[in-house]
């Protein structure tokens, strides 16, 4: 078919050369021939709409050969160029498209007084749209719209060219047009397509899909347009409709003969595959990225590779050697571009998880402190890339990690100290509680303000009470804890019991706290357990409740017998003293046996005072 079209075109050019030598001037034709040529021309134009370019060119050549100097010959000249351009474009022959543009530009030369200069300019504009040269197309349709303000078709095409340049203000050209004022189904389809692109650019993906559907009702061939399918697929991706998204994106990829949309289609498909845990297909696309462009020259590939830390399941399946350390090198690759923040967030994630130490992430804060965060998504040719995902991913990490884990707590706190602006990005309803707990844990009362974001009022009051106590406001702190004590659960309730009992010298509440078996092994409560045993032992001793006082001091020396520090020997001394008061010789003998051979002063004192 391509060879046939090419031969016809060469023949046509030869005829033109002969006619040009004598100069083409229009003249009339008989009415019967006129009717025949009109039907034939209209049929050829319809064939162009149906993408039957071979038959269209044949029909147009017939019209031209019968009456080259008539208006039908003149029109056929223009439509031959259009059909030839489209045929060559869809056959991946750009040179043929360029030849068609040359032919169109020669139109005023062959026809000394051209009658259809507006149509010539429109077809040239259409070809620019086809080639993706939207700047030139905008220029063409801007002139036509200004010269012919009542022709809605020019406004619709001007809007399309402007919108394709990612300027959502392009929709203004069509706002004055009503659907009923549009003459052809093709123009109506493009009208809805304009609105689809507009809604896409504004992030209204539901209306994007609606307008795309409306457009296809008027022109079924739109589904052959790779950009149409890309918009459909991307909009469904944003709406979390993975099945429809993949369907349309794969269609876009299949129909994209020039690979114009391949990069962004692969980007979206890879993210869908990662989200749906289809790691095999995700890995296939990643290899394609790395093979053809690599992360050096392709920002979309760079972002995709730098975002894999948010998909630990993929990294566990396809182990990328030294990926964590590679993120540091990736950061410097595009520093100080905002792109480098993607691997920087990855470094932060691994730092908070405890997989990288402070030396391995020494460059991390350099990136965060020296790069200004964009206040809107970055656009890479229709792909909107924001930092919402990495921020939410790390926020989820903060909300689910144990705030009483020493490594995590102090690492998160170090982010606050190093870069408060970065830290503020993770302040979300889901993180306020854990962040407040971390500040309680490290003893920084500046964290009191974070409690205002906690949604659970009981937890909020509990943590505020702890902050009050750390500030030295014991009265208000204990009052806050008492007000919610019965509504607390688990470790929170046990910690509140300790603090209330400890600071009010209430041995009854301390008894309750010490009755929980888990407190002696809990990372969060074991230090409170130590203090609770000693405090309750003293309170019982002061009340002359020697039996229970001995129980708590003895429990202390039995649980913490490996510490052998000064507090341990002091507790042993108290246990010996109480055993003496109780005249419990067996208990005293056992306790003093623990002090044997110790050089500690409390141990020696116990042996001297009560030993035999």
| 597 burial level (CB within 10 Å; 0-12, 13-18, 19+) | exposed
Statement: residue 18 has pLDDT above 80: no
Q: Which long-range contacts (CB under 8 A, 24 or more apart) does 179-183 make?
A: 181/152, 182/152, 182/153, 182/156, 183/152, 183/153
**Tokens matching residue 454:** 């906690």
Helix 152-164 and helix 185-201, axial crossing angle in degrees, nearest 10? 30
Contact 194, 152 (CB under 8 A): no
Alpha carbon distances (Å) from 103 to 87, 107, 120, 122: 15, 7, 10, 14
Q: For residues 33 and 190, which has the higher predicted lDDT (pLDDT)?
A: 190
> For the residues 186-212, what does the mean pLDDT come to?
96
Other CB atoms within 10 Å distance of the CB of residue 197:
26
* Range with lowest mean pLDDT among 296-300, 427-431, 591-595: 296-300
- Range ranked top by mean pLDDT from 252-266, 338-352, 422-436: 422-436
Query: pLDDT tens, 497-509?
Result: 999 999 999 999 9
Q: For residue 471, is pLDDT > 90?
A: yes
- pLDDT at residue 22 greater than cutoff 80: no
Q: Are the C-beta atoms of 380 and 298 separated by less than 8 Å?
A: no
Q: What is the mean pLDDT of residues 39-56?
A: 92
Structure tokens at 77: 């000249």
Whether pLDDT at 220 is above 70: yes
In contact, 248 and 229? CB cutoff 8 Å: yes
End-to-end C-alpha distance for the chain, whole angstroms: 117
Q: Are 80 and 61 in contact (CB under 8 A)?
A: yes
- Sign of the CA dihedral 461, 467, 469, 473? negative
Kindly state the tokens that stand for 146: 């200004």
Buried b (16+ CB within 10 A) or exposed e, 18-54: ebeeeebebeebeeeeeebbeebbeebbebbeeebbb
Integer angstrom CA distances of residue 568 from 399, 540, 589: 37, 18, 17
Contact 25, 69 (CB under 8 A): yes
Query: Binning pLDDT at 50, 70 and 90, where does residue 4 land?
Result: very low
Say which residue, 574 or 325, is predicted with more confidence: 574
C-alpha–C-alpha distance, residues 321 and 29, integer Å: 78
Angle, alpha carbons 454-389-233 (nearest 5°):
130
Proportion of the chain in helix, strand, coil states, percent, rounded to 5 = 75, 0, 25
What's phi and psi for 279, nearest 5 deg? -70, -25
User: How many whole angstroms separate alpha carbon 523 and alpha carbon 248?
Assistant: 52
Report the pLDDT averaged over residues 583-589: 94
Fill in the DSSP letter of residue 384.
E
Burial of 229 (0-12, 13-18, 19+ CB in 10 A): buried
Quickly state the pLDDT bin for 319 (edges 50, 70, 90).
confident
What is the structure's pLDDT at 612? 67
Q: What percent of the chain has pLDDT over 90?
A: 74
CA distance 357 to 605: 47
**If you ran DSSP here, which 8-state letter would residue 396 be given?**
H
H helices of 485-543, where? Answer: 490-504, 507-514, 526-542
Q: Per residue in 505-541, pLDDT tens?
A: 999 999 999 999 999 999 999 999 999 999 999 999 9
**Is residue 24 classed as helix, strand or coil in its secondary structure?**
strand
Tell which wins on pLDDT, 134 or 111.
Answer: 134
Beta strands in 101-237 (DSSP E): none
Looking at every residue in the chain, the average pLDDT score rounds to: 91
DSSP secondary structure code for residue 290 in this structure: H
User: What pLDDT score does 103 carry?
Assistant: 92
> Measuring CA to CA, which residue among 122, 128, 100 is closest to residue 8?
100
Contact 183, 148 (CB under 8 A): no
In degrees and rounded to multiples of 5, residue 24 shows phi and psi of -85, 130
- Helix crossing, 2-22 with 53-66: angle to 10°? 20
Q: Is 385 helix (H, G, I), strand (E, B) or coil?
A: strand
Other Cβ atoms within 10 Å of 217 Cβ, number: 12
Whether omega before 482 lies within 30 degrees of 0, making that bond cis, reads no
Cβ within 8 Å of residue 193, ≥6 positions away: 160, 211, 212, 215, 222, 228
Residue 24 has pLDDT above 70, yes or no: no
Confidence of residue 230 (pLDDT cuts 50, 70, 90): very high
Compute the distance between CA of residue 122 and CA of residue 194 in angstroms, rounded to an integer.
18
Domains of the chain: 1-131 (1.25.40)
Residue located via tokens 């889901």: 430
> What pLDDT score does 9 carry?
52
Confidence of residue 371 (pLDDT cuts 50, 70, 90): confident
Helix pair 406-418, 341-353: axis angle to 10 deg = 140
Q: Is the pLDDT of residue 55 over 60?
A: yes
Contact call for residues 177 and 168 (beta carbons, < 8 A): no
pLDDT at 19: 45
287: how many CB neighbours lie within 10 A of its CB?
A: 11
Quick check: 199 pLDDT over 50? yes
pLDDT band, residue 391 (cuts 50/70/90): very high
Contacts of 73 (CB under 8 A, 6+ apart): 63, 64, 66, 67
Cα(278)–Cα(409) distance, rounded to whole angstroms?
A: 34
The tens digit of pLDDT for each residue in 57-100 reads 999 999 998 888 889 999 999 999 999 999 999 999 999 999 99
Count the helices and strands in the chain (H runs, E runs).
34, 2
pLDDT at 459 over 70: yes
Give the whole-angstrom CA distance, residue 275 versus residue 393.
13
């Amino acid at each position: 078919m391509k060879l046939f079209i090419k031969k016809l075109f060469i023949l046509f050019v030869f005829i033109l050369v002969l006619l040009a030598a004598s100069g083409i001037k229009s003249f009339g034709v008989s009415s019967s021939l006129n009717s025949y040529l009109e039907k034939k021309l209209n049929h050829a134009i319809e064939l162009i709409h149906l993408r039957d370019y071979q038959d269209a060119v044949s029909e147009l050549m017939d019209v031209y050969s019968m009456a080259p100097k008539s208006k039908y010959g003149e029109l056929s000249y223009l439509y031959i160029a259009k059909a030839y351009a489209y045929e060559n474009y869809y056959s991946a022959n750009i040179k043929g498209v360029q030849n068609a543009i040359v032919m169109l530009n020669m139109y005023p030369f062959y026809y000394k007084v051209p009658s259809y200069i507006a149509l010539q300019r429109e077809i040239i504009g259409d070809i620019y749209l086809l080639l993706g040269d939207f700047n030139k197309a905008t220029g063409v349709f801007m002139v036509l719209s200004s010269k012919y303000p009542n022709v809605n078709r020019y406004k619709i095409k001007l809007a399309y060219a402007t919108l394709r340049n990612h300027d959502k203000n392009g929709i203004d050209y069509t706002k004055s047009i009503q659907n009923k004022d549009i003459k052809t189904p093709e123009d109506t389809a493009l009208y809805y397509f304009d609105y689809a692109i507009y809604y896409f650019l504004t992030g209204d993906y539901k209306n994007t899909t609606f307008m795309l559907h409306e457009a296809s009702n008027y022109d079924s061939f739109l589904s052959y347009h790779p950009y149409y399918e890309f918009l459909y697929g991307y909009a469904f991706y944003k709406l979390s409709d993975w099945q429809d998204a993949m369907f349309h994106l794969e269609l876009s990829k299949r129909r994209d003969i020039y690979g114009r949309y391949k990069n962004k289609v692969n980007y979206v498909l890879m993210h869908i595959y990662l989200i749906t845990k289809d790691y095999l297909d995700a890995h296939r696309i990643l290899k394609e990225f790395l093979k053809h462009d690599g992360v050096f020259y392709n920002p979309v590939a760079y972002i995709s590779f730098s975002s894999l830390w948010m998909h630990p399941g993929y990294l566990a399946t396809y182990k990328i050697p030294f990926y964590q350390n590679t993120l540091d090198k990736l950061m410097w690759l595009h520093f100080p571009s905002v792109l480098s923040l993607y691997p920087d967030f990855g470094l932060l994630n691994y730092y908070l998880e405890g997989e990288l130490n402070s030396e391995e992430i020494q460059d991390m804060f350099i990136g965060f402190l020296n790069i200004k965060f964009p206040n809107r998504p970055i656009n890479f040719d229709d792909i909107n890339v924001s930092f919402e995902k990495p921020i939410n991913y790390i926020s989820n990490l903060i909300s689910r990690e144990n705030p009483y884990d020493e490594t995590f707590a102090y690492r998160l706190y170090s982010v606050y100290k190093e870069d408060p602006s970065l830290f503020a990005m993770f302040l979300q309803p889901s993180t306020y509680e854990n962040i407040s707990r971390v500040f309680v844990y490290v003893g920084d009362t500046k964290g009191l303000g974070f409690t205002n974001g906690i949604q659970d009022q009981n937890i909020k009051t509990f943590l505020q009470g702890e902050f009050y106590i750390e500030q030295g406001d014991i009265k208000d702190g204990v009052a806050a804890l008492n007000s919610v004590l019965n509504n607390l659960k688990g470790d929170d309730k046990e910690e509140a019991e300790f603090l209330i009992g400890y600071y009010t010298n209430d041995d009854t509440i301390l008894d309750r706290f010490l009755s929980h078996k888990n407190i002696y092994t809990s990372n969060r409560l074991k230090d409170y357990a130590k203090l609770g045993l000693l405090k309750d032992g003293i309170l019982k001793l002061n009340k002359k409740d020697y039996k229970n006082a001995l129980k708590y001091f003895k429990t202390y020396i039995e649980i913490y017998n490996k510490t052998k520090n000064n507090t341990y020997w002091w507790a042993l001394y108290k246990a010996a003293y109480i055993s003496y008061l109780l005249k419990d010789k067996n208990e005293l003998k056992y306790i003093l046996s623990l002090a044997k051979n110790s050089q500690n002063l409390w141990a020696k004192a116990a042996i001297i005072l009560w030993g035999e």
